[in-house]
Amino acid sequence: MRLIDLDKVDPSEIFVIGPMGQFDFENAVKQLLYQQPIIDAVPVVRCRDCKWFDLYEMECINNAVSTDHEGGASYSLNFDLDDFCSFGERKE
């Protein structure tokens, strides 16, 4: 799969003449889209789908993320269901 920035696609660039001198719209669109640079994107695991997320406390229970008062932390980080981080692991 290729992810592109659709905002940078210029529809006025769609113009391809087919072998019979006819406009070939399908191939013109494919050609235009494949010429676009791909974006740098990675899939993320949202807190609601993460095995480290405690829905009751709305906190992350991963030891790498200090979110509770255990161990002397003087603060608590609460997360929303749509949040995500680099430690996210999908529930099995």
Rounded Cα gap, residues 20 and 71, in angstroms: 75
Q: 3-class DSSP state for residue 7?
A: helix
Contact indicator for 82, 56 with CB cutoff of 8 Å: no
**Sequence-ordered alpha helix ranges (H) in 1-92:** 25-34
pLDDT for 58 beyond 80: yes
Mean pLDDT within 37-44: 84
Is pLDDT larger for residue 71 or for residue 85?
85
Is pLDDT larger for residue 79 or for residue 74?
79
